[in-house]
Structures are given as C-alpha cells and as structure tokens.
Amino acid sequence: MLQLDEIAKDHAYLTALRREFHAHPEIAFEEKRTSARVAEELETVGITVTRNIGGTGLVGIIEGGKGPGRSIGLRADMDALPIHEESDFAWRSTVDGCFHGCGHDGHMTMLIAAARYLQANRHQFSGRVVLIFQPAEEGLGGARAMIADRLFERFPCDEIYALHNAPDRPFGTVAVGPGPVSASADFFDIDIKGNGGHAAFPHRAVDAGLAALAIAQGLNTIVSRNVDPVESAVLSVTAMTAGSTYNVIPDTARLSGTIRTMKADVRAQMAMRVRNLAESVAAGYGTSATVSIRDVFSALANHETQAEVIAMAARAVVGEANLELFPPIVMTSEDFADMLSHVPGAYFFLGQGQGAALHNPRYAFNDAVIPIGAAMFARIVLDRAGQA
C-alpha cells in the first residue's frame, strides 16, 4: 500500500523521534517541551502551527491542493503518566516518577508521520487537515480545555479521528465499530470525620478508619445489588488513607476511587447510591461523610459513518483479515469522547502485539506500528478529502 510504503521509508527517523518523546515525558498541562518539539517537526515541513490552545495544546493546518472540501480532524494526545518506569531501555524516561506508560509518545509520532506524508502529497486531496495535539488526556480534561478555548470555532472540522495503541491485540490489527466504545468515568473522594483518640481507649473515640472500611465494603455491593445485571458498570475503591501511627485512633479518613458506566441513567443512579451509602454507613458508626464526585470523562461512542471510514482505511492498510469489526466495549475511558460530542468522528484501536498492559511500569510501545498508524491517518484523509 503506497502510503504505508512511503511512510515506512522514514521509520528510523520516526523511531528516534518517538524515543526522544519517551525520554522526556511531561504530565498533564506541563507538556511545554513536548509541544515545542511537535511544533518544530510540523513547521520544518511547512505546516502552519497555532500554539497554546487549551494550555499546552497546538493545532497544525495542512491545506489541500485540490481546492475547497472537507475539513478532517486528526487528534493525538501528548501527556505522560505520574508513574516510575521499570525498564532498562536506553531511551527510558529521564524524569523520575513520570513516563509514557500509555503510548502517547507513539500517538504523537504517528500523527507527525501522517502529517509529513500529507503535507508532501497535499495535491492529492481537497479541503484541509486539522492536526490536533492535545494535552492532559489522562484525567485532567485536556479535550475540554481545548474545546473551551474555541478549538472547533477557530479550526472547524467536519469530522474527526483518533486512535489508541493496544498491547493486548495482535500486531497490526485494527479494531473499530459504530456506537459505544469506552466508558464514562467519575472520580470520587469520601472524607470521613470522627473523633480521634488514644488507641488504648477506643471507647472514648469515634474511629474514622473503621467507618471507612465499612463504607468501602458497602460501596463494592452497589454494582451487584443496585445496577441491572445487563448493564455495564464498574466501581473501584482505589485509595484509602487513615491514621499516621500505631497508638492513635484516626480522627479522619478518606476513600477515593472511580465509577465507570456506559449510560447516563446508570451513571446518575450509581452516584446517588455512593452518596446515600457513604453518608448512612458513616452515621451508623457515629461519624460523618462528605462525598465529592467529579465528572472526568464522558462515554465514548463512535459515529456510524466515520467508523465505516476507518474500516475502509483498515482494509486498504492492513487487509480484511486484520480488521476486527464491532469489538467489545471497554471500561477504560478516553476524553476524545468530548470532541465526538461536538464533531462526528470515530476512534479505533491499533494492535501492537507485545508487552505489558497500558499504565503498567513495564509498558513498552512497539515502534514497528508507527508506519501503520500513520498510514491509517493518511488513508482516512485521502479517502474522505480526496473525493470531496
């Protein structure tokens, strides 16, 4: 396939670029070096760049050489995770406690590679390509920040596309389908207030830690006892803090975690049950509970036409045998969902076929998929804007 073959010629350069991004990770809204390097790569090949959109985000514009036509958005995320990398690669993170454990370094590189190809071949398509490099995908609302900064008013898109690498899928496969893809996510904190005291006199204290344990146990019954079994829902308590030493009953405690659902009514039901259960169990232990629930991610659903566009591109790039249609939904979350609430589009998974899971300290991006992801982006543009 022409796009794949052409992009693959630069594989050594692209691999070095990806590894540079990996060695210098930056967490949400701190992607200053990263954003500057992306801009440099785009401007070097003549692409116009607008910086500082939604914080550290940026947009590059490629004008098609065949006149007016569709405006096609392509998006990549830029932020790393606050995780210590446990690998011995020569290009391992140089920033202690921060690394690209989700492959966003690879996503950026694939979009840059596609941009280089499309800029060199802009005579093949009409309209424009809007290259969106987004900050803060990992739970701090980078998509929402760019949208609030008038992303789509300043750079209108008729449709928009994004991808994510998938170490749990076979190498070079593309998974896509219309409709629900991934879950919404709410993050919660429950602060419990008791009355601390000496551990030798528990009857004189009100144990916030004990109440927290009971609340945590109760929360884990919500999905099994309050949500319709045919619905998708997850509630996980992921952090517990109480006390500071051996002989003091804690005065306060905190539980933190996440709620993930596919439907708005289930999401609202679970939030209500978390509040009611935490407050009532806390009261039963003589404590009080304050519950904070934050909307972090919307549920992601692909638009039917754009999902088929990705499937068509996959047939050309990786072949029918490597295309998985209607993959199972996943309970992870992705803030590209917010962009899809403004512009029709779709999101697909690209199998990289190796290594540890996403967000694992030993996760490793497979550089061999860079040309494939880039060719998918390029083919989408040529299929859509080349015909306009």
Residue-wise pLDDT for 199-235, tens only, equals 999 999 999 999 999 999 999 999 999 999 999 999 9
159 and 84 in one domain?
Answer: yes
User: 57-93 in b/e burial notation, b at 16+ Cβ within 10 A?
Assistant: bbbbebebeeeebbbbbbbbbbbbbebebebeeebeb
312 and 172 in one domain?
Answer: yes
Q: Quote the number of domains for the chain.
A: 2
Both structure tokens of 304 = 């039917």
Give the CATH number for residue 18.
3.40.630.10
89 and 227 in one domain?
Answer: no
170 and 33 in one domain?
Answer: yes
343 and 228 in one domain?
Answer: no
328 and 291 in one domain?
Answer: no
Both structure tokens of 106 = 């690879």
Give the predicted TM-score (pTM) of the model: 0.93
Query: Active-site residue 137, yes or no?
Result: yes
pLDDT tens for each residue of 84-139: 999 999 999 999 999 999 999 999 999 999 999 999 999 999 999 999 999 999 98
pLDDT tens for each residue of 229-243: 999 999 999 999 999
Options 6, 31, 41, 137, the catalytic residue:
137
317 and 287 in one domain?
Answer: no
52 and 149 in one domain?
Answer: yes
Q: 3-class SS at 149?
A: coil
Environment class of residue 344 by beta-carbon count within 10 Å: exposed (0-12), middle (13-18) or buried (19+)? middle
292 and 333 in one domain?
Answer: no
283 and 345 in one domain?
Answer: no
Options 6, 41, 77, 79, the catalytic residue:
79
Alpha-carbon gap, residue 205 to 144, rounded angstroms = 45
Residue 261: strand pairing partners: 184, 233
213 and 171 in one domain?
Answer: no
Confidence tier at 388 by pLDDT (50, 70, 90): very low
Alpha-carbon gap, residue 175 to 206, rounded angstroms = 53
Both structure tokens of 113 = 């590679």
Q: What is the DSSP secondary structure assignment for residue 172, as one 8-state letter? A: T
Give the CATH number for residue 273.
3.30.70.360
Both structure tokens of 232 = 């998708």
Query: Active-site residue 191, yes or no?
Result: no
pLDDT tens for each residue of 353-384: 988 999 999 999 999 999 999 999 999 999 99
Q: Which domain holds residue 344?
A: 2-182+299-385
279 and 171 in one domain?
Answer: no
Both structure tokens of 198 = 């000496």
